[in-house]
């Protein structure tokens, strides 16, 4: 199913902060990475292949710490659009436990005009997502 994209990450020393757990900024980087990877898969089914997403708003909740050697399962999926804004969830699990929960809002920009593109409320369903 293309609707949910997953990534597996093995935590290494480069991901840690001075407290020896995954740095909060690293999670933000992974949120952006997961969203970009997922769009690269999904966009081929749309007429928006050359357009790009811009992060509008980001909320992240750190529920538990993640440490060196942990294997993180990252799950990301779009949610129902909110006007021009496209919500996306990114969840981080270790051993089936939710460790970090993120909800972002994105806007799609036309690659030729660099203006925000308004997508219909049904655009996800229209392209089979």
What residue ranges define each of the domains in the chain, with the CATH number in brackets? 5-127 (3.10.129.10)
State residue 11's pLDDT score.
Answer: 98
What's the whole-number average pLDDT of the chain? 95
Using one digit for the tens of pLDDT, what is the confidence trace for 8-45? 999 999 999 999 999 999 999 999 999 999 999 999 98
State residue 1's pLDDT score.
Answer: 44
Across the beta sheet with 97-109, the strand order is: 5-10, 71-78, 85-94, 97-109, 52-62
| Overall pTM > 0.85 | yes
- Tell me what the mean pLDDT of segment 102-111 comes to: 97
State residue 128's pLDDT score.
Answer: 81
Please give the share of the chain, as a percent, with pLDDT higher than 70. 98
**CA-CA distance, 117 to 70, in Å (whole number)?**
39
- Tell me what the mean pLDDT of segment 94-111 comes to: 98
* Confidence band for 83, pLDDT divided at 50, 70 and 90: very high
- Tell me what the mean pLDDT of segment 83-111 comes to: 97
Beta-carbon contacts of 80 under 8 Å, excluding residues fewer than 6 positions away, are 87, 121, 124
């Amino acid at each position: 199913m293309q609707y949910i994209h997953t990534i597996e990450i093995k935590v290494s020393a480069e991901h840690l902060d001075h407290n020896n757990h995954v740095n909060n900024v690293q999670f933000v980087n992974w949120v952006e990475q997961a969203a970009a990877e997922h769009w690269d898969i999904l966009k081929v089914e749309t007429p928006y292949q050359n357009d790009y997403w811009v992060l509008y708003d980001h909320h992240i909740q750190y529920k538990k710490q993640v440490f060196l050697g942990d294997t993180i399962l990252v799950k990301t999926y779009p949610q129902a659009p909110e006007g021009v804004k496209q919500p996306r969830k990114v969840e981080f699990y270790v051993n089936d436990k939710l460790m970090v929960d993120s909800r972002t809002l994105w806007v799609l920009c036309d690659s030729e005009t660099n203006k925000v593109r308004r997508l219909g409320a049904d655009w996800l369903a229209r392209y089979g997502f």
